[in-house]
Amino acid sequence: MAAEEISYTVIEKDGDIEIRHYDETVMAEVMVEGDRDEAINRAFRTLFNYIDGNNIAMTTPVSQEQSAASQKIAMTTPVSQTQTNNDGNTWSVAFYMPNDMTYENAPKPKNEDVTIRRVPERKMAAIQFSGFRTDNNLDEHEQELRDYLQTNDIAHEDTPLYAFFDAPWVPWFLRRNEILFPLQ
């Protein structure tokens, strides 16, 4: 069964590169220090525990009584990873909430390392590719997207967002990965 994907609209397409519009969405985020692979592996466990029900249900708007029951959240894709400072050692790793979930009705995390955050609507440039999420594969496609943006004089933020869509057991040649740059 496929995981729900956050929705977007393709505005423009040129080969493997797309300019997309994303509506506002909500994500569960963990900040982690370490190299890229170590950071995503550590954060993934924390985020998975959150969506698997290790949370407390929000206060209900009808009765104004807080429920102590946990709430499981449907798995969504992608899992995103963004470097948060220039030291190369701090990463934001996030799961996006299902499209019908809002900031107001997302379950409150028990774990203080998990933050629920609104992501405003935005335009993003994206390149999609397959393979493992190795530094070489990411660097190659990030540079291809940077070159495209520069050649086409498209203003963008400098820090990329890495997006991974598949479980570890998916064969490398079937994996979907993306690199995205927020556009200015």
**How many angstroms separate the CA atoms of 90 and 75, rounded?**
25
- Residue 61's pLDDT is 36
At 103 the three-state DSSP class reads coil
- The residue ranges of DSSP E strands in 49-169, in sequence order, are 55-56, 76-77, 79-83, 90-96, 108-109, 114-119, 122-129, 161-164
Task: List the domain boundaries for the chain.
Answer: 4-56+68-182
β-strand pairing of 114-119 with 25-33 = antiparallel
Low-confidence ranges of the chain (pLDDT < 70): 1-2, 55-78, 85-88
Q: With contact defined as beta carbons under 8 Å apart, do 175 and 121 qualify?
A: no
Say which amino acid occupies 129.
F
pLDDT value for 86: 62
* CATH number of the domain located at residue range(s) 4-56+68-182 in this protein: 3.20.80.10
